[in-house]
């Protein structure tokens, strides 16, 4: 496995990769969700590239860029095991040199949900993903459905800017009790970890209500909120039942619908979603 730190070297290594290149963009601190993406890339492509870059541009000023969990030696050894061909791990100065001033803005879908709660987040995501695609030139790139809005934003960017690669979204990986795996789960103390199952439980409630015939999206959102409010360590940021393409909130549920939420558990903000079909 080649470990590459500069853009110039990555471009040189890219020329030597054979066949379709599968790419997984990450911020490191790997969990089973990341590894499921790398495994799929490995199973489907002759060459696999992975990036590890904690992207400052997608964190707000009061967010956790400095404390975001990092464990490079462990990440590299996991990638060796998964037989990645190349790992690109640039520095912040390499990706954002002094004077960097080119940003990618995707409108509308970024106004809602995560975009509304985290202004500027998707500008940072779209810019770095665009730049990584330009450097690595993958044929296909794999993303986790847990970040449903991110998948939507990246797909829209690739489609509208005619970037000529395929975006594949893979299912959310969950712990046995339903909690979606996430690097930020590392912040949770044992009590918060237990409380965090409320995200998945409330999504299950949304599915159950829909299956029982509830069509009123407002009522589903309300019942999800009431369930979450019973958990003393949880604080709701948003609860949404929306169109999965536009992210517009629904009045009456039409399937498919994206049920999604962001909930603070102690000082940790977690997100999750399911597609109700
Ligand atoms: O999902 C993530 O880890 C990040 O948003 C990504 C896609 C690697 C861009 O920094």
Interval 121-156: pLDDT, tens? 999 999 999 999 999 999 999 999 999 999 999 999
Q: What is the dihedral of CA 123, 48, 78, 189, to 10 degrees?
A: 20
Give the separation between CA 121 and CA 214, rounded to whole angstroms: 34
3-state secondary structure of 253: coil
Residue 35: the pLDDT is: 98
The C-alpha atoms of residue 167 and residue 139 are separated, in whole angstroms, by: 9
- CA-to-CA dists, residue 28 to 64, 150, 151, 259, angstroms: 14, 17, 18, 27
Residue 26 CA to ligand 1 centre (angstroms): 5
User: Contact 24/109 with Cβ under 8 angstroms?
Assistant: no
Which letter does DSSP use for residue 238 in this model? E
Q: What are the residues whose beta carbons fall under 8 Å from the beta carbon of 140, sequence distance 6 or more?
A: 20, 21, 22, 23, 41, 44, 45, 165, 166, 167, 168
Indicate which atom in ligand 1 lies nearest the CA of residue 154.
7
Q: Which residues' Cβ are closer than 6 Å to ligand 1?
A: 25-27, 55, 58, 125, 128-129, 147, 150
Burial (CB count <10 Å: 0-12, 13-18, 19+), residue 196: buried
Q: Which pLDDT score is estimated for 124?
A: 98
CATH superfamily of 2-170: HUPs (3.40.50.620)
Residue 167: the pLDDT is 98
pLDDT for the residue 110: 97
Domain boundaries, the chain: 2-170, 183-276
Average pLDDT value for the chain: 98
CA distance 88 to 93: 14
Quick one: residue 115, left, alpha or beta (phi over 0 = left, psi -120 to 50 = alpha)?
A: alpha
Residue 34 bears catalytic tag = yes
- pLDDT tens digits for 205-246? 999 999 999 999 999 999 999 999 999 999 999 999 999 999
Helix (H) / strand (E) containing 237: strand 234-242
Instruction: Report the alpha-carbon distance of residue 247 to residue 74 in Å, rounded.
Output: 37
If pLDDT is split at 50, 70 and 90, which confidence band does 77 have?
Answer: very high
The arithmetic mean of pLDDT across residues 50-73, rounded, is 98
CA of 27 to the centre of ligand 1 (A): 6
Nearest CA to ligand 1 atom 5: 125
- Average pLDDT, stretch 164-187? 98
- State how far the Cα of 264 lies from the Cα of 272, in Å rounded to an integer: 12
As a CATH number, domain 183-276 is 3.30.1300.10
Nearest CA to ligand 1 atom 8: 26
Report the separation in Å between the CA atom of 126 and the middle of ligand 1, taken as the mean of its atom positions: 9
> Rounded to whole angstroms, how far apart are CA atoms 276 and 209?
10
For residue 258, the model assigns a pLDDT of 98
pLDDT the model gives residue 69: 97
Residue of 26, 96, 134 with the most ligand 1 atoms within 8 Å of its CB, for mutation: 26
Contacts of 196 (CB under 8 A, 6+ apart): 179, 185, 188, 234, 263, 265, 268, 270
Q: Distance from the CA of 217 to the center of ligand 1, in angstroms?
A: 30
From the list 255, 251, 250, the residue with the least C-alpha distance to 277 is 255
From the CA of 54, give the closest atom in ligand 1: 10
- Cα gap 3→84, rounded to integer Å: 10
The pair of structure tokens assigned to 177 is 């009790």
């Amino acid at each position: 496995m080649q470990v590459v730190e500069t853009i110039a070297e990555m471009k040189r290594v890219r020329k030597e990769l054979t066949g379709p290149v599968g790419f997984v963009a990450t911020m490191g601190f790997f969990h089973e969700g990341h590894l499921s993406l790398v495994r799929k890339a490995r199973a489907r492509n002759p060459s696999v590239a992975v990036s590890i870059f904690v992207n400052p541009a997608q964190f707000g000023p009061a967010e956790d860029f400095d404390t975001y969990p990092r464990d490079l030696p462990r990440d590299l050894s996991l990638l060796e095991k998964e037989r990645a061909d190349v790992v690109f791990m640039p520095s912040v100065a390499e990706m954002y040199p002094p004077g960097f001033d080119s940003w990618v803005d995707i409108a509308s879908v970024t106004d809602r949900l995560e975009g509304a709660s985290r202004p500027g987040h998707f500008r940072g995501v779209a810019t770095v993903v665009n730049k990584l695609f330009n450097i690595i030139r993958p044929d296909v790139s794999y993303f986790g459905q847990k970040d449903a809005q991110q998948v939507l934003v990246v797909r829209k960017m690739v489609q509208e800017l005619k970037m000529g690669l395929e975006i594949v979204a893979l299912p959310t990986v969950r712990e046995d009790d339903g909690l979606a795996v996430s690097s930020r789960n590392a912040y949770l103390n044992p009590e918060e970890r237990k409380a965090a199952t409320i995200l998945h439980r409330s999504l299950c409630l949304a599915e159950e209500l829909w299956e029982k015939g509830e069509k009123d999206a407002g009522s589903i959102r309300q019942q999800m909120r009431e369930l979450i409010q019973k958990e003393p360590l949880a604080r709701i940021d948003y609860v949404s039942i929306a169109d999965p393409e536009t992210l517009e909130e629904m009045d009456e549920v039409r399937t498919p619908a994206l049920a999604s939420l962001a909930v603070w558990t102690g000082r940790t903000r977690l997100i999750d979603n399911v597609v109700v079909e």
